[in-house]
Copies of this chain bind each other. A is one copy, B any other.
Amino acid sequence: MERRPNIADVARLAGVSTATVSRTLSTPERVGAPTRARVLEAVAASGYRANAAARDLRQRRARAITLLAPNLANTFFSSIIAAVQEVADTAGLTVQISDSQVEGMRLAGLGADGRTDGILLLDGQLDPAMVKGWSVPIVMVCEWMPDATLPSVSTDNVAGARLAVDHLLDLGHLRIACLGGPEGNVLSAARAEGWRAALSARGVSPRPQDLIAGDFTMARGVAAAWDWAAQTDRATAVFCTSDESALGFISECDRLGISVPRDVSVVGFDDIEFSDRFIPPLTTVHQPRRQMGLLAAKQLVSALTEARPLDVAAEVLPSRLVVRASTTSPL
């Protein structure tokens, strides 16, 4: 098994210098046509492919971006990851993935070893000081950090939650519970705030029992069904701050002999693929996940390729309510 051909091999084969080979491959217009042809022929003949490490070392760039999410197993991220990969691929960049819950110490020096040119951060709960220490451009996606001033792409979570709760109010519900998200999460806070704001705008004040602790997961949605069902004077509608938890909630209600929407209306947040096909189809707040991934990746990539600094702006995409069959008027 022989070693891979390097640029010197190609140069020798074509009877030119290594510089000419390099130019032919990166800036062909700066090489004479006949020479170019000879070089290309030699490249084809030898099966030459430029070594990435050598190029990266020389150019001081990694030709790669990193996507850092709080839990890669979460299916919520799938379409975002795909969108990011698409954009990166088009720009000739590699996508590296990391899980901010798994990565240990290595998280701290993220940009420092030159392995990545930029970061797409999907976790708003990392230490702001650490994030500030990363030496490469960062764009936050979905979540954001109130403390750090970083460019971000997200949806209007407060408005989305208001839309959901307004819908429930319009339907005639007065006791509307909120199944929250993880403690300390910006999305949890924003969605709960929207819930509160929608209620108070109509002069409704939520009771303490109406804010149910959650964490966005299906498992917690299941457990929450019990919490809610055990209450006296239950809310007639529940605004779940994630679709997964809404689906878990409905599923467990069904097992408890409680029918949705007949006995309780449920709204979700995210509009994941399954929501449309659940039984009943879930009324929920749509988040354009693919759009967010596309936009964030484009911002990062273009800043990188144009060597332009990223502008620190919060790009907030509109959210919209998708009314399906999990909500109806109270009896």
A→B interface (CB under 8 Å): 4, 47, 49-54, 56-57, 62, 64, 71-75, 77-79, 81-83, 85-86, 89, 92, 94-99, 102-104, 106, 109, 112-115, 135, 218, 222, 247-248, 250-251, 254, 273-274, 277-279, 281, 290
Q: What residues of chain B lie closer than 8 Å to A250, measured between beta carbons?
A: 279
How many copies of this chain are found per oligomer?
2
Query: Chain B residues with Cβ under 8 A from A104's Cβ?
Result: 89
The answer to whether A71 and B82 have CB atoms under 8 Å apart is yes
CA–CA, A257 and B96, complex, Å: 46
A125 CB to closest chain B CB, in angstroms?
18
Which B residues touch A248, using CB under 8 A? 277
Complex partner residue of A73 from B54, B82, B222, B274, CB under 8 angstroms: B82
CA distance A49 to B106 in the complex (A): 11
- Closest chain B residue to A253, Cβ basis: B279
Q: List 26 A-B contacts (CB under 8 A).
A: A4-B112, A49-B112, A50-B113, A52-B62, A52-B113, A52-B115, A53-B54, A54-B57, A56-B56, A72-B78, A73-B78, A73-B81, A73-B82, A75-B78, A85-B98, A85-B102, A89-B103, A89-B104, A89-B106, A92-B106, A95-B96, A248-B277, A250-B279, A251-B277, A251-B279, A254-B279
Beyond A51-B57, A54-B57, whether A222 also contacts B277 by CB under 8 A is yes
